[in-house]
Amino acid sequence: MIRDPDTLTAFLDSVRRFVKERLVPAENTVAETDEIPDDIVADMKAMGLFGLTVPESYGGLGLTMEEEALVMFEMGRTSPAFRSLFGTTVGIGSQGILIDGTPAQKDKYLPMLASGELIASFALTEPEAGSDAASLRTTARREGDHYIVNGTKRFITNAPLAGLFTLMARTDPSNKGAGGVSAFIVERGTPGITIGKPDKKMGQRGAHTADVIFENCRVPAANLIGGKEGMGFKTAMKVLEKGRIHIAAICVGVAERMLEDALAYAMERKQFGQPIAEFQLVQAMLADSKMEVYAARCMAIDAARRRDNGENVSTEASCCKLFASEMCGRVADRAVQIFGGSGYVADHGIERFYRDVRLFRIYEGTSQIQQLVIARNMIREADH
């Protein structure tokens, strides 16, 4: 759903310009230094990128899912690390509070998230609980008006920067499944939190993940999201469902960028006396990529519109994330092929994108988990 086409077009234009003029030229520096420069972070905050999804009443831009997808198509056209910096705050880190939080929780935290004053992380994964997230072992034991949290969370994006964590922990030790899990808002300054060393990753330099360790960490009971125990896994799944459309849209943007770079190279690079773009075998790689990017774009927009219309999009969100992330991997692979040896060495940035996009098939539910979600939904619906 697009609320006001003129305002959205103006915003999309400014994001497109920002990506082209500020982010693309900084890609190599970010990859070399593993840091996003402070002035770029400040500009991102000033543009409202940290508040894209927070309602206007809390100081954000309140984008609909369709509008968010269109913005992510633009943001995807550069190194994914830039998106990652605000991605957890507009997505998985804040949406639990927005979707299921109490009015007091929303009033307290959403304005600080929208301005970028607080960066939010989403802490679900553990060393022994990845795809099987419902088996998580981190505990939150009620003691008076606090919960005592113990456990380790793994691969938490933006943990080194986060001002708050949306944490999933087990409040009912007798229930080992999803129903024993609750969601909490945990402020970084709470005693008992240690952030591990940033992980050394395959790609997306400039974006950081780390372990978050909770040792007798006392979280106020008022920070139980929604004020009700046992709802945390459901909250996490609602958050991830929306996140999957967001990731699909980013995959479309990055794939479009890689394809554009590959096309420009193919039209310029000459072999056998002619541009390699004239060779039909190269054209096949270009055409297959174009077709797949277009399909993923249509899927992301359709799922976003359906979500805006209030439909249950569990299946569509997983279809989008599965197809778009796998498509992005195939386009990256073809782009490296079109660049030939130059695609394998670091000069053109294509090998960097190839490594960067590998993550999209893994986080927010691996491709296999998306397949399971889709097939389980199909079977459940056929049973009724």
Does 290 engage in binding with ligand FAD (CB under 6 A)? no
Q: Which is nearer to ligand FAD, 120 or 304 (CB)?
A: 120
Q: Whole-angstrom Cα distance, residue 370 to residue 250?
A: 17
User: In this structure, is the dihedral angle defined by the CA atoms of residues 311, 243, 334 and 349, taken in order, positive or negative?
Assistant: positive
- Residue 233 touches ligand FAD, criterion: CB under 6 A: no
Binding residues for ligand FAD, total number by CB under 6 A = 21
Tell me if 108 contacts ligand FAD by CB under 6 A: no
Pairing mode of beta strands 146-157, 139-143: antiparallel
| Least spacing, CB of residue 53 vs ligand FAD, in Å | 16
Check binding of 355 to ligand FAD (CB under 6 A): no
CB nearer to ligand FAD: pick between 244 and 297:
244
Residues 6 or more apart in contact with residue 287 via CB below 8 angstroms: none
Considering only residues 83 to 102 of the shown chain, the ones binding ligand FAD according to CB under 6 A are: 88
The verdict on 279 binding ligand FAD (CB under 6 A) reads: no
Piece in contact with ligand FAD (CB under 6 A), picked from 6-14, 21-29, 107-115, 119-127: 119-127
Applying CB under 6 A, the span of 256-264, 268-276, 305-313, 355-363 interacting with ligand FAD comes to 355-363
Between the alpha carbon of residue 75 and those of residues 22, 93, 108, 347, the distances in Å are: 12, 19, 29, 22
CA 153 to chain centre: 17
Q: How far apart are the C-alpha atoms of 178 and 122, rounded to whole Å?
A: 17
Tell me how far apart the alpha carbons of residues 360 and 80 are, in angstroms, rounded to a whole number. Answer: 10
Total residue count of the chain as it appears in this document = 384
Among the listed residues 40, 123, 254, 335, the single contact to ligand FAD using CB under 6 A: 123
362 lines the binding site for ligand FAD (CB under 6 A):
yes
Instruction: Name the minimum Å distance from CB 201 to ligand FAD.
Output: 6
Q: Is 157 in the site for ligand FAD (CB under 6 A)?
A: yes
Q: Does 122 bind ligand FAD (CB under 6 A)?
A: yes
3-state secondary structure of 52: coil
Q: Which residues contact 5 (CB under 8 A, 6 or more apart)?
A: none
Indicate which residues carry an active-site annotation. 364
Q: Which tokens is 218 given?
A: 């006392």
Do 341 and 265 contact (CB within 8 A), yes or no?
no
List the interface residues with ligand FAD, window 175-214 (CB under 6 A): 201, 209
Residues at the contact surface with ligand FAD, assessed by CB under 6 A = 88, 121-125, 130-131, 155-157, 201, 209, 359, 362-364, 366, 368-369, 372
